[in-house]
């Protein structure tokens, strides 16, 4: 199909019109600013009572969120950071899930002013992985690095339409690689792709995707129009805003939202994400499975003033903490866009997922890995990737550091393979039960990874961590875990040590 014909057939207005009221979507720019202004000077007592409400694991209201965003007192911020960390542990325990992105294609019909993939960037080398390439990339990710979870990324273009996506996902799931003691394989493929129709989303659903992720980029209508030129697919704000509605209609019940921080005022974007979560809960009873908050990074040939709304490291920590308190049950993803120092400082205030050994060039894993280790920003080729990575460290290094910080890296993908999805996982998250599953499955998947992929140094630290985690599980008996749970955990752990794989709760 010709590119122009394809583009004309993508957007189906009827699939989002019916969600709008009087032609308006659920983001009211003026109202958001009114709330930010109205809640400018809250008493510390009010802030503390909002913090306490977060511990009930319910969504905060827009007014409450606006009040947090306006806090000036550094001591109160310390209390917010502390609460954010505690709420994360309450919901998800001390585990950090890890994953890697796999960029499959950088052809794109859009022309977003801030993006290296934009169609006007003629210096970008346009590439699309063949299915053999996808297999090779997966063999490195699953067989050498040891990832179990990927997020696949595609530019919006007819060469990477939904059928190509489905083919690549099937290919990834089929790859099995012999590891030291077990098998390396990808058990969960999440998708970051352009907004799609319900019909296309059903194709993704049928192939067994994990989470479907679309970032709104900016929730601010005017800025959205400015950075997404007219005449492009992405210029349609509502088609994008209602992506998750269509995904849920199509039966994909794990959905993820995000904003690209640096396009507009960060406080507004936090409010936008909260309104998005409220809307999804209202319409479907399911909030976002994860939220993402990437900061705008250096990219090739951008046509956007990246300094005007640049988010400082200090404000970045604030927005992470406020998101944790406002949408307390949600998973929060901190990516390798951020440098190691920022990741270290931000992890303790609510992060649940992070990536490592990250490469975002097309075909970058099989080209680079095993040859020269990419350890410097300067090693990156902006002609082949969307933006600059801030923390290119290996998974082994990241896992070891997390262990030293007291976190267990989890490779768990259990939930969506036994129906802990949708309203079920939302209930488990809101009742603090999901974290109990997380703890058990983190131990088991960490055991697998230590035996199959860890360096000697990391393994040594990891063994100590597993001992500590096992002891914690036992200490939660009988209040939370039954004797049967502990015995099953010990049995599974031994069997994994002996080479069995993929045992989970």
Residue whose CB is less far from another protein, 8 or 423: 423
Interface with another protein (CB under 8 A), residue from 85, 208, 229, 348: 208
Residue whose CB is less far from another protein, 236 or 424: 424
Pick from 378, 391, 379: nearest CA to 339: 391
Residue whose CB is less far from another protein, 63 or 206: 206
Q: How far is the CB of 432 from another protein (least distance, A)?
A: 11
Contacts by 70-75, CB closer than 8 A, 24 or more apart: 70/36, 70/39, 70/40, 70/41, 70/42, 70/267, 71/42, 71/47, 73/44
Candidates 99-107, 303-311, 332-340, 484-492; binding stretch for another protein (CB under 8 A) = 484-492
Q: Does residue 209 belong to the site contacting another protein (CB under 8 A)? A: yes
Interface with another protein (CB under 8 A), residue from 488, 493, 495, 502: 488
Q: How far is the CB of 200 from another protein (least distance, A)?
A: 15
Q: Does residue 479 belong to the site contacting another protein (CB under 8 A)? A: no
Candidates 205-213, 311-319, 366-374, 380-388; binding stretch for another protein (CB under 8 A) = 205-213
Candidates 75-83, 109-117, 344-352, 475-483; binding stretch for another protein (CB under 8 A) = 475-483
Q: How far is the CB of 448 from another protein (least distance, A)?
A: 16
Restricted to residues 366-385, the positions that interact with another protein (CB under 8 A) are: none
What DSSP line would sit under 281-310, residue for residue? HHHHS---SEEE-PBP---TT--S-SSTTP
Helix, strand, coil: what percent of the chain each, to 5?
50, 10, 40
Interface with another protein (CB under 8 A), residue from 11, 131, 183, 207: 207
Q: Are 15 and 242 in contact (CB under 8 A)?
A: yes
Restricted to residues 241-280, the positions that interact with another protein (CB under 8 A) are: 251, 253
Q: Does residue 482 belong to the site contacting another protein (CB under 8 A)? A: yes
Q: Are 377 and 360 in contact (CB under 8 A)?
A: no
Interface with another protein (CB under 8 A), residue from 205, 221, 459, 493: 205
By CB atoms closer than 10 A (0-12, 13-18, 19+), residue 478 is: exposed
Residue whose CB is less far from another protein, 95 or 118: 95
Q: Does residue 505 belong to the site contacting another protein (CB under 8 A)? A: yes
Restricted to residues 392-451, the positions that interact with another protein (CB under 8 A) are: 416-425, 428, 433, 436-437, 440
Q: Does residue 484 belong to the site contacting another protein (CB under 8 A)? A: yes
Candidates 22-30, 206-214, 305-313, 374-382; binding stretch for another protein (CB under 8 A) = 206-214
Pick from 226, 225, 229: nearest CA to 237: 225
Q: How far is the CB of 243 from another protein (least distance, A)?
A: 18
Q: How far is the CB of 420 from another protein (least distance, A)?
A: 7
Residue whose CB is less far from another protein, 168 or 386: 168
Dig out the tokens for 88 from the structure: 């994360």
What DSSP line would sit under 335-401, residue for residue? -TTS-HHHHHHHGGGT--EEE-S---STTHHHHHTTTS---SGGG--TTSSSS--S----HHHHHHH
Q: How far is the CB of 18 from another protein (least distance, A)?
A: 24
Q: How far is the CB of 492 from another protein (least distance, A)?
A: 8
- As a whole number of angstroms, the distance between CA 312 and CA 295 comes to 10
Interface with another protein (CB under 8 A), residue from 76, 198, 303, 480: 480
Beta-sheet pairing, 95-105 with 353-355: parallel
- As a whole number of angstroms, the distance between CA 452 and CA 58 comes to 39
- As a whole number of angstroms, the distance between CA 27 and CA 272 comes to 7
To the nearest 10 degrees (0 to 180), the angle between helices 162-174 and 131-140 is 40
* 334: number of Cβ within 10 Å: 24
Q: How far is the CB of 178 from another protein (least distance, A)?
A: 21
- As a whole number of angstroms, the distance between CA 273 and CA 486 comes to 39
Residue whose CB is less far from another protein, 219 or 437: 437
Interface map 453-472 toward another protein (x if CB under 8 A): --------------------
Residue whose CB is less far from another protein, 190 or 346: 190
Supply angle C-alpha 311, 316, 318, rounded to 5. Answer: 125
Q: How far is the CB of 171 from another protein (least distance, A)?
A: 13
Q: How far is the CB of 183 from another protein (least distance, A)?
A: 15
Candidates 28-36, 272-280, 447-455, 476-484; binding stretch for another protein (CB under 8 A) = 476-484
- As a whole number of angstroms, the distance between CA 117 and CA 242 comes to 23
Could you identify the residue written with the tokens 């140094």?
A: 457
Sign of the CA dihedral with 491 first, then 356, 264, and 255 last: negative
Dig out the tokens for 206 from the structure: 């049928």
Q: Does residue 493 belong to the site contacting another protein (CB under 8 A)? A: no
Q: How far is the CB of 485 from another protein (least distance, A)?
A: 5
**Which residues lie near another protein (CB under 8 A)?**
173, 205-210, 251, 253, 416-425, 428, 433, 436-437, 440, 480-482, 484-485, 488, 503-505
């Amino acid at each position: 199909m010709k590119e122009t014909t394809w583009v004309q057939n993508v957007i189906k207005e009827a699939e989002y019109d019916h969600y709008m009221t009087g032609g308006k979507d659920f983001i009211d720019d003026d109202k958001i600013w009114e709330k930010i202004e109205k809640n400018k000077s809250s008493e510390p007592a009010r802030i503390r009572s909002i913090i306490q409400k977060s511990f009930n694991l319910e969504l905060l209201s827009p007014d409450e969120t606006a009040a947090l965003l306006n806090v000036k007192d550094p001591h109160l911020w310390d209390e917010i950071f502390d609460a954010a960390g505690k709420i994360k542990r309450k919901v998800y325990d001390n585990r950090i899930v890890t994953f890697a992105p796999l960029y499959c294609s950088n052809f794109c019909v859009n022309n977003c002013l801030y993006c290296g993939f934009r169609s006007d960037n003629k210096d970008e080398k346009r590439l699309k992985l063949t299915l053999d390439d996808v297999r090779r990339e997966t063999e490195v990710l699953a067989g050498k690095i040891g990832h179990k979870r990927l997020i696949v990324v595609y530019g919006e273009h007819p060469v990477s339409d939904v059928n190509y996506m489905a083919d690549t996902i099937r290919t990834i799931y089929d790859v099995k690689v012999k590891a030291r003691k077990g098998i390396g394989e990808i058990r969960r493929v999440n998708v970051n792709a352009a907004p799609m129709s319900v019909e296309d989303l059903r194709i993704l659903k049928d192939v067994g995707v994990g989470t479907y992720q679309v970032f709104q980029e900016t929730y601010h209508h005017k800025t959205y129009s400015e950075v997404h030129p007219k005449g492009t697919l992405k210029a349609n704000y509502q088609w994008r805003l209602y992506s998750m509605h269509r995904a849920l209609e199509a039966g994909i019940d794990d959905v993820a939202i995000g904003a690209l921080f640096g396009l507009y005022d960060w406080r507004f974007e936090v409010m936008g994400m909260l309104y998005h979560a409220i809307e999804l809960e209202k319409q479907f009873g399911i909030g976002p499975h994860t939220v993402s908050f990437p900061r705008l990074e250096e990219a090739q040939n951008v046509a956007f003033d990246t300094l005007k709304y640049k988010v400082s490291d200090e404000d970045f920590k604030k927005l992470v903490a406020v998101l944790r308190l406002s949408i307390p049950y949600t998973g929060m993803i901190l990516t390798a866009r951020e440098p190691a120092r920022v990741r270290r400082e931000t992890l303790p205030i609510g992060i649940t997922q992070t990536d490592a050994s990250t490469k975002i060039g097309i075909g970058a894993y099989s080209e680079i890995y095993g040859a020269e280790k990419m350890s410097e920003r300067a090693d990156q080729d902006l002609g082949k990737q969307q933006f600059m990575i801030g923390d290119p460290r290996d998974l082994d290094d990241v896992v070891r550091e997390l262990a030293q910080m007291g976190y267990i890296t989890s490779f768990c993908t259990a939930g969506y393979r036994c129906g802990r999805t949708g309203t079920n996982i939302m209930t488990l998250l809101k009742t603090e039960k999901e974290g109990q599953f997380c703890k058990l499955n983190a131990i088991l998947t960490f055991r697998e990874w230590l035996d199959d992929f860890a360096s000697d140094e990391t393994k040594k630290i990891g063994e100590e961590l597993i001992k500590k985690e096992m002891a914690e599980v036992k200490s939660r008996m009988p209040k939370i875990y039954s004797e049967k749970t502990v015995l099953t955990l010990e049995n599974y752990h031994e069997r994994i040590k002996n080479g069995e794989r993929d045992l989970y709760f």
